[in-house]
Amino acid sequence: MVIPMKRMFICTLGFDPKFQIRSLIRNNFKDNVKVIVVATPVDAKARNALEDLKKFINEYLTNSSIETIEVRPLDVIDSIIRLCNIFKRKVNEDTIVNISGGMRLLIFETFLAVILSGIKCKVEVELENFMGVAEIPIEVLKVRVDVVTCKILKCLRERRMTTGEIQVITGIPRSTLYRRLKELVNEGIIKKIEEEGIAFYKLTGSGKILYEIKCSNYDEEKYLA
């Protein structure tokens, strides 16, 4: 019998668990969930918030567990290193990180640890007025940018294209192009769309950011120097 891998939910926590509970519900966490809570050394308010979150998990999520990681935000370096090591050791690819609650410094340290640990996850923040949720495109920070990548992104900045169209415009060898397109799809930089048996590629939001920051002033001679 194959035991399913637990979904992971990492969150920062302050004095109220409402953002964390809303995120668990919004992302359809129901069963087989591992919850990791990053918090400051608990005082009465924080302890109450943690107990409320535990109560929700115990009542509404089956086969699930919660682990608390206490950090001291003023020990910035130690906190980031500790969180990095924990994330690399425990986190799988089906992970959502919610950084809507807790101290600003704690949120920053958790976010930086997520980036530096290299884990694959979705990072989200809910607005304080409950008017929306933003997903932070951290994949942009992890992508290798080279001449091939810039050529592809430059092609797709205006419209979607097929592999053949990209190859004609860029002159990238077919095997290299196929390999890099697959990598960029996995990295969340481009999206593959199939219509009537034809595969098209288009930039994602992260791809647009990466193009503007790294490739909009693309100079092939500079990259090849």
Sequence spans of domains, the chain: 7-136, 141-224
Tens digit of each residue's pLDDT (9 = 90 or more) over 6-29: 899 999 999 999 999 999 999 999
- pLDDT at residue 77 in the model: 95
The mean predicted confidence, pLDDT, of the chain is 89
Instruction: Give the CATH number of domain 7-136.
Output: 3.40.50.11700
* Single pTM value for the model: 0.80
Tell me yes or no: is domain 141-224 CATH 3.60.10.10.
no
- pLDDT at residue 2 in the model: 46
Residue 223 has pLDDT above 80, yes or no: no
- pLDDT at residue 46 in the model: 87
Tens digit of each residue's pLDDT (9 = 90 or more) over 146-172: 999 999 999 999 899 999 999 999 999
Q: Is residue 219 very low, low, confident or very high in pLDDT (cuts 50, 70, 90)?
A: low
DSSP state of 42: P
Top pLDDT among 70 and 142 is at 70
Report whether 10 contacts 96 (CB < 8 A): yes
- At 138 the three-state DSSP class reads helix
DSSP string, 159-217: S-B-HHHHHHHH---HHHHHHHHHHHHHTTSEEEEEETTEEEEEE-HHHHHHIIIIITT
- pLDDT at residue 141 in the model: 83
Top pLDDT among 92 and 174 is at 174
Residue 80 has pLDDT above 90, yes or no: yes
Residue 119 has pLDDT above 90, yes or no: no
- pLDDT at residue 183 in the model: 94
